[in-house]
Amino acid sequence: MIGPSANPTLRVAGRPQELRPRLGFFAVVLVVLLVMLLGRLWILQVVRGAEFADLAEKNHLKEREIPAPRGGIYDADGERIAEVRASFDVVVAPDEVEEGRALELGEMAWAKAGPPDSDAWELPSRIDVGTLCVRLAELLEHADPEELLERFEQGRRADRWRSVVLAADVSEAELERVLARRAWLPGVSVVARHRRHYPNGSLFSHLVGYLREVRADELPRLRERYRDSSHGPGWYQSGDMMGKYGLEAAYEEWLRGDDGSYWVQVDVHGRELGRSAAADRPGDEYFRSIDHFLNRGLTPERSGHDLHLTVRRDLQQLAVDLLGNESGSVVMMEVDSGRVLAVANAPGFDPTIFNSRISPEEWKRLSQDPDHPLVDKALQGVYPPASTWKMIVGAAVLASGEWSDRKLVNCAGSVKVGRRRFHCWNRKGHGKVNLSGALKHSCDVYFYRAGLHVGIDTVARFASMFGMGRPTGIGFNSEASGLNPDSAWKKVRFKSRPRLGVWKKGDTASAVIGQGYTLATPLQVASMTAAFANGGTLYRPLVVDRVVGSNGQVVWRQDPEVTGQVDLAPSHFESIRKGMLAVVDERGGTARGQRLKHLAYAGKTGTAQVVSLGSVRNAKKRNSKRFKDHAWFTAFAPYEQPEVVVTVLVEHGEHGSTAAAPIARKMLEHYFAEPLAKARSEGRRIGDSRPKSRSLATGAGAAVQ
């Protein structure tokens, strides 16, 4: 029935050969199309192959950073001052999520119930940020979806190519929850960071300083600076933290480590499938045959170096405690090395707050506080050195050889210089005083006379020998120079009005009692005091003792460095020191109240006028704290074989003897606590080899009132 024979029901019209021309044409079309497709493939695979291979590789091979921990900072006893701890931030990449805010109840329930039942690898690779925020809010503690969304929008507006931190420093439980649900949070990742931590809060604020995020406009400069260094031009990346103040800034290159990196292979959801390993270890790459991946390897991170300071935490703490609510500064350093044992300022600030974005209110509070918590008063604060300057004048007049330390000057309460009368602080006068008595009583008239006798330029020359008028070279926080005025300086200062630029005797009178133009920082005064104590050697103040690598090896040690030598006879130093001892030790000394029975120490008080009181007419104003005098006290101890110097400045503390000297005394008591206890039990006095009867008794004043 079925066969090649014609079926009568089917009409056959025309021969099949009729179709051949068109079939042939069809075949030609096929061949033409084949050629076209092959041509297109040639362009894609051969001509542009390398380009696409690179792009495809960028899809699944991602470089991951191994953040290097910043070096720690330790005090002289190895106590932690600054350290790093691991913290985890939950971030979302703006270009990996859809915009929109699908904050619907359904989504809430979804997020709570967990993922729908499906093959995990077929989940959508992109969702909208609203949904993401709802899901995250479920996983994080104290998080509100609206708040998260707001944070995201803010971050995206700032920089749409950078991941936005939605939750910083999340807890371990939160971290676990987020990581477990990672597949349902496309675009979200957890970033491990090292967060700077200052266990002592504001204790070392100005010394240690703080870190801030590196600014975008700084990056090109940094890239240029480290282009040829071992760190490479990419040492700083956007979002990195950088030391901006204090030792964190000054020792930035030591403290900062080098981040390492490795490569991971990820799928479209960002799930890691393998990672590259260091050259000597096998990686666990999924696609072993892709050689680019194998060859990328791993660059280990190099942690930053640790700083070991000369500063002692206990002394620093005591200094801050003693300053209390006052605004001021305490510097304590070793006499024979310049090693700083404490350098404290009050008020301080908690450096941690600079780690994250600081709120405008907080910034306003810090920057507009009348007590200037952001200023390192010990290094940057310039004050009239007041009577602490008198030691320099004494040195200058002794060096002249024309006055001996026995020379008596009669203080009648005032002296007329030019047409103006300059008063002693004691208007009744001190009577006849020698150098020691003048220091003990801080007699102004003696020093007016002495200063006028040698002239300002000699005084200034000695002040300069004692390090005044230039930074001590401590090496951080853009230390102030202070001001050590002389006639040449004044000429330059009033260049445009030469008549005003003439140095007058009145200027000398002001300058020699550390007022007028004269300015110094507490650190300079401490350094100068140390030079008096050690016989004229000026050391660079040191705060960093050594830099230690992560392997414990000392890579750099800072040795004491002499920056100057005062040209003065030892006997003259002895005379000044004797006067300074009298200040504390003898009846009538300005700091007599702070005498220690078992420790002989020497010092000098100072009371710096903030404004000339005459210019403040308003009595009420005159009594207000802002116009009260600054109180100075600078001392070295023990009197014989001095070890340490301590300098205290209390802003608006009024009298050096009452506001500053007790702080210094307590610092010394703490520093010498053990020897003091021993001396007490032995009935001995440290630093005093004079016959017992004289030393333990109240010393007789050299001056007669």
d(C-alpha 625, C-alpha 522), whole Å: 21
CB of 35 to another protein, least distance (A): 10
- The encoded tokens of residue 648 equal 């205290």
Q: How far is the CB of 52 from another protein (least distance, A)?
A: 2
For another protein, the closer of residues 82 and 164 by Cβ is 164
State which H helix or E strand residue 254 sits in. Answer: helix 252-255
**What is each CA distance from 289 to 90, 280, 284, in whole angstroms?**
34, 18, 12
Q: At what angle do helices 661-671 and 313-323 cross, to 10 degrees?
A: 160
Contact string (CB under 8 A) for another protein, positions 602-631, x = contact: ------------------------------
Contact 163, 170 (CB under 8 A): no
Residue whose CB is less far from another protein, 277 or 408: 277
| Three-state DSSP class for residue 585 | helix
Q: What angle do CA 135, 137, 142 make, to 5 degrees?
A: 165
Of 11 and 499, CB closest to another protein: 11
Interaction between residue 95 and another protein (CB under 8 A): yes
Which span sits near another protein by CB under 8 A: 157-165, 253-261, 282-290, 634-642?
282-290
Told to check if 292 binds another protein by CB under 8 A, we report no
Q: Does 118 bind another protein (CB under 8 A)?
A: no
695 vs 499: CA distance, rounded Å: 53
Nearer to another protein, 186 or 588 (CB): 186
CA distance 702 to 705: 10
**Segment near another protein (CB under 8 A); pick from 31-39, 394-402, 405-413, 635-643:** 31-39
| Residue 31 binds another protein (CB under 8 A) | yes
Q: Quote the CA–CA distance of 83 and 248 in Å, as a whole number.
A: 11
In the complex, least distance from residue 182 CB atom to another protein, rounded to whole angstroms: 13
Please report the DSSP string for 281-326 in residue order: S----S-TT-HHHHHH-EE--BPPPEEEES--HHHHHHHHHHHTTS
How far are the Cα atoms of 326, 339, 601, 634 from residue 645, in angstroms, in the given order?
A: 21, 10, 10, 7
Q: Which stretch binds another protein (CB under 8 A): 12-20, 404-412, 512-520, 668-676?
A: 12-20
295 contributes a contact to another protein by CB under 8 A: no
> Is residue 198 within 8 Å of 352, Cβ to Cβ?
yes
Segment near another protein (CB under 8 A); pick from 203-211, 281-289, 526-534, 668-676: 281-289
Measured from the CB of residue 36, what is the shortest distance to another protein in angstroms?
Answer: 8
Separation of alpha carbons 624 and 131, rounded Å = 59
Q: In this structure, what DSSP letter does residue 504 have?
A: -
Cα-Cα-Cα-Cα dihedral sign, residues 131, 133, 136, 137 = negative
Q: Assess 14 for contact with another protein (CB under 8 A).
A: yes
User: Is residue 3 a contact residue for another protein (CB under 8 A)?
Assistant: yes
| Among 39-47, 134-142, 196-204, 506-514, the segment contacting another protein (CB under 8 A) | 39-47
Are 305 and 70 within 8 A, CB to CB? no
Q: Choose one: 65-73, 284-292, 391-399, 657-665; the region binding another protein (CB under 8 A).
A: 284-292
Regarding 278 and contact with another protein (CB under 8 A), the answer is no
Which has the closest alpha carbon to 150: 169, 168, 170, 129? 129
Distance CA 74, CA 432 (A): 52
Q: Are strands 554-557 and 544-548 parallel, antiparallel or unpaired?
A: antiparallel
The one among 114, 125, 367, 567 contacting another protein by CB under 8 A: 125
Q: What's the CA dihedral at 423, 428, 433, 435 to 10 degrees?
A: -40
Residue 172 lies near another protein (rule: CB under 8 A): no
In the complex, what is the shortest distance from the CB of residue 164 to another protein, in angstroms, rounded to a whole number? 17
Q: How many helices (H) and strands (E) does the chain have?
A: 26, 24
Query: Which residue among 106, 109, 115, 126 contacts another protein (CB under 8 A)?
Result: 126
Phi, psi of 423 (to 5 degrees): -95, 155
Work out which of 23, 555, 562, 700 binds another protein, going by CB under 8 A.
Answer: 23
Residues 44-73: x where in contact with another protein by CB under 8 A, - otherwise, as a string: xxx-xxxxxx-xxx-xx-------------
**Residue 33 binds another protein (CB under 8 A):** yes
Strand partners, 342: 332
What secondary structure, in 3-state letters, does 134-148 show? HHHHHHCCCCCHHHH
Parallel/antiparallel/unpaired status of strands 306-309 and 73-74: parallel
Residues 230-269 as x/- pattern, contact with another protein by CB under 8 A: -----------------------------------xxxxx
User: Measured between alpha carbons, how far is residue 153 from residues 88, 130, 376 in Å?
Assistant: 21, 11, 38
Closest contact distance (angstroms) between CB of 272 and another protein is 10
Burial (0-12, 13-18, 19+ Cβ within 10 Å), 369: middle
> Residue 128: beta bridge partners?
98
| Cβ at position 367, least distance to another protein in Å | 43
Q: Rounded to an integer, what distance in angstroms lies between the CA atom of residue 653 and that of residue 651? A: 5
Q: Does 99 bind another protein (CB under 8 A)?
A: no
Near another protein by CB under 8 A: residue from 226, 287, 363, 425: 287
CB of 19 to another protein, least distance (A): 5
Nearer to another protein, 20 or 495 (CB): 20
Count of residues interacting with another protein (CB under 8 A): 60
Q: Judged by CB, which is closer to another protein: 18, or 361? A: 18
The only residue of 118, 230, 289, 612 in contact with another protein, by rule CB under 8 A = 289
Output the smallest distance, CB 49 to another protein, in A.
4
| Interface with another protein, residue 570, by CB under 8 A | no
Residue 289: CB minimum distance to another protein, A: 6
Question: Per CB under 8 A, does 404 bind another protein?
Answer: no
Minimum Å gap between C-beta 228 and another protein is 35
Q: Which is nearer to another protein, 24 or 683 (CB)?
A: 24
Choose which of 102, 219, 290, 408 interacts with another protein (CB under 8 A): 290
Nearer to another protein, 42 or 494 (CB): 42
Residue nearer to another protein on the CB measure, 59 or 359: 59
Assess 20 for contact with another protein (CB under 8 A): yes
Stretch that binds another protein, among 11-19, 247-255, 381-389, 564-572 (CB under 8 A): 11-19
98, 127 contact by CB (below 8 A): yes
- Exposure string for 439-459, b = 16+ CB within 10 A, e = fewer: bbbbbbbbbbbbbbbbbbebb
Residue placing its CB nearer to another protein in the complex, 7 or 367: 7
User: Is residue 484 a contact partner of residue 468, using CB atoms and an 8 Å limit?
Assistant: yes
Residues at the interface with another protein (CB under 8 A) = 2-4, 7, 9-16, 18-20, 22-24, 26-27, 30-31, 33-34, 37-38, 40-42, 44-46, 48-53, 55-57, 59-60, 95, 120-122, 125-126, 265-269, 271, 273, 286-287, 289-290
